[in-house]
Amino acid sequence: MARFDPTRPDFSPYGFSCVRWTPTTMPRGDRHNEIELNLLEDGRLVYLMGGRKVVVPAGRLTVFWAGVSHQIVAFECPTPYFVMTIPLAWFLQWGLADEFTQSILRGEILIEPDEGRLALDRSRFELWNEDVLDGSGERRHASLLEVEARLRRLAQSVAADTPRRPQRKSPAVLDQRHLSRAEQMACFIAQNYTQPLTAETIGQHVGLHPNYAMALFQKTFGTTLMKYVTQHRLSHAQRLLVTTRESIVHIAFGSGFGSLSRFNEAFRQSFGCTPREYRRLQRSDR
């Protein structure tokens, strides 16, 4: 069973994963550039997020953006629980309901309001766990399609439940005032990485001088602003290469790269092969 490693570099990626985690308190907060899904079969977790304690209950799918620092400070979980991570760029490509997506990017933890779906969700997570561990492109792709469908249903459930909620703000909501400036920049990039971005435009969005914005972002996340932008663009391109037949040049520009040569260079540096070779290798695994 997996458990949190306090020595892992802050903001290093988990990628597309689905594992059972051993419940444990965390000595520090964790941040990674994925959407995280939790499913507890019993008990509860208590996260510290943005200075607030948020309870994750058993039996109901829970989703949040893990780019916001999250730290388990207490738990009552007799058994391991499921954790799935999905690269943020992949999640954004699904084009889910805007209010659902924006709520997640604002730092809200979204919880399935229907308490009767545990058995079905448990069987889904067990299958996704097997598919991801199997490693074949076809099985991983099938799981991604199923996760997308499950999140679409969650978005519908949350939207239908909204009118029945008390008007007071949920303690699970972290609005922009509770996100640090660096987290606000990360959120802005996540929403706009396919557009032309510079340190100046990103800094402007949060009211910071570009030099200070770059220094703050690197200090917080351990990577530069523009490397973070490129990471999003490459993750976007990865999924399109595997799941579509779009041309390489169309994927390059659609992912936010200004030229095909820059796309090829960045892709080779990160993955050790060209986009065309990557597509061929992934399809041969199916």
CA gap 265, 248 in Å, rounded: 13
For tokens 């899904």, the residue is: 37
Backbone Cα Rg of the chain: 19
Residue 27 scores a pLDDT above 90: no
Q: Determine the pLDDT at residue 230.
A: 93
Q: Which domains does the chain have, with CATH numbers?
A: 17-164 (2.60.120.280), 181-284 (1.10.10.60)
Share of the chain above pLDDT 90, in %: 59
Helices then strands (H, E): number in the chain? 11, 8
Mean pLDDT of 12-39: 92
Least trusted range by pLDDT, from 67-81, 119-133, 139-153: 67-81
CA of residue 242 relative to chain centroid, distance:
19
Share of the chain above pLDDT 70, in %: 92
Residue 240 scores a pLDDT above 90: no
Q: Determine the pLDDT at residue 13.
A: 86
CA gap 74, 53 in Å, rounded: 10
Q: Determine the pLDDT at residue 164.
A: 62
In this structure, are residues 155 and 104 in contact, taking their beta carbons and an 8 Å threshold? Answer: no
Mean pLDDT of 133-140: 85
Q: Determine the pLDDT at residue 220.
A: 81
In this structure, are residues 207 and 57 in contact, taking their beta carbons and an 8 Å threshold? Answer: no
Three-class SS state of 29: coil
Q: Determine the pLDDT at residue 171.
A: 40
Q: Determine the pLDDT at residue 110.
A: 95
The edge-to-edge listing of strands for the beta sheet with 17-21 is 17-21, 81-87, 34-39, 62-65, 110-111
Taking every pair of Cα atoms in the chain, the longest distance, rounded to a whole number of angstroms, is 53
Q: Determine the pLDDT at residue 280.
A: 86
Confidence of residue 51 (pLDDT cuts 50, 70, 90): low
Residue 253 scores a pLDDT above 50: yes
In this structure, are residues 170 and 108 in contact, taking their beta carbons and an 8 Å threshold? Answer: yes
Confidence of residue 31 (pLDDT cuts 50, 70, 90): confident
Mean pLDDT of 22-43: 92
Q: Determine the pLDDT at residue 50.
A: 64
Least trusted range by pLDDT, from 9-23, 91-105, 150-164, 174-188: 174-188
Phi, psi of 39, rounded to the nearest 5 degrees? -140, 110
Q: Determine the pLDDT at residue 136.
A: 79
CA of residue 150 relative to chain centroid, distance:
15
3-state helix, strand, coil in the chain (%, to 5): 50, 15, 35
CA gap 28, 73 in Å, rounded: 9
Q: What 8-state DSSP symbol labels residue 75?
A: E
Buried b (16+ CB within 10 A) or exposed e, 36-45: bbbbbbebeb
For tokens 């969700």, the residue is: 121
CA gap 96, 159 in Å, rounded: 12
Residue 88 scores a pLDDT above 60: yes
Residue 176 scores a pLDDT above 90: no
In this structure, are residues 94 and 148 in contact, taking their beta carbons and an 8 Å threshold? Answer: yes
Least trusted range by pLDDT, from 38-42, 103-107, 112-116: 103-107
- Distances in Å between the Cα of 116 and the Cα atoms of 58, 83, 105, 127 are 11, 20, 27, 19
